[in-house]
A and B are shown apart, each in its own frame.
Chain A
Amino acid sequence: MIKALKIIGILISLLIIVYVLLVLNMNNQLKPKHFPKEGVYEHSAHYIDPENSLLNEGFVVCDENFILQYYNPERATYSKGKNGLREFILTSFKNNNFTDSGYLNIRFIINCKGEAGRYLIHENDLDLKPKKFNPEIVEQLFKLTTQLKKWNPNFTHDEYRDSYMYISYRIENGEITEIIP
Chain B
Amino acid sequence: MEKSPKLFLSILFLLLIVSCRVKEEDPLAILEYGKNYQGSSRSLNALKKVTELDSTNSEAYRELSIPYLKRGIPHLWKTHMDKSIELDAQEWQGYRGYNYLWFYRDYKKAIADFDASDILTPNFIDAPQGHSVDYWRGIAYLGLKDYKNSIRYFDKYIEKETKDTGEDWVEVTAFLYEGIAHYENKNDSLALLSFDKLLKYTNNNYADGNYYKALILEKQGNTAEALNFVNLAITNYKEGYYNYRAYVEALRQIYIEDLLLLKKRLTKKQ
State whether A81 and B75 are in contact (beta carbons under 8 Å apart), knowing that A34-B24, A36-B46, A37-B42 are contacts in the complex: no
B45 touches A37 (CB 8 A): yes
Fill in one digit per residue for B30-41: 1 if any A CB lies within 8 Å of its CB, else 0: 100110000111
Closest-CB distance, B78 to chain A (whole angstroms): 4
Contacts of A143 in B (CB 8 A): none
Asked if B72 and A17 make an inter-chain contact with CB atoms under 8 angstroms apart, the answer reads no
B interface, size bucket:
35 or more
Structural contact, B75 and A82, CB atoms closer than 8 A: no
Is B23 located at the chain interface by the 8 A CB criterion? yes
- A122 with B74, Cβ < 8 A, contacts A24-B20, A45-B39, A170-B105 known: yes
**Nearest B residue to A31, CB-CB:** B33
User: Which one of B120-128, B186-194, B204-212, B241-249 is at the interface?
Assistant: B241-249
B68 within 8 A of A: yes
The yes or no answer to B196 lying at the interface (CB within 8 A) is no
Name the contact of B30 in the complex, choosing from A36, A41, A71, A107 (C-beta under 8 A): A36
> Least Cβ distance of A53 to chain B in Å?
14
Contacting A34 at CB < 8 Å: which of B23, B34, B67, B76?
A: B23
Given contacts A177-B105, A181-B249, 20 further A-B contacts (CB under 8 A): A25-B20, A29-B29, A35-B29, A35-B46, A36-B48, A38-B45, A39-B49, A43-B41, A44-B44, A46-B71, A82-B255, A83-B255, A105-B74, A122-B72, A122-B75, A129-B75, A168-B74, A178-B105, A181-B103, A181-B247
Residues on B lying within 8 angstroms of A by beta carbon are 5, 9, 12, 16, 19-20, 23-24, 29-30, 33-34, 39-42, 44-46, 48-49, 67-68, 70-78, 103-106, 246-249, 253, 255, 257-258
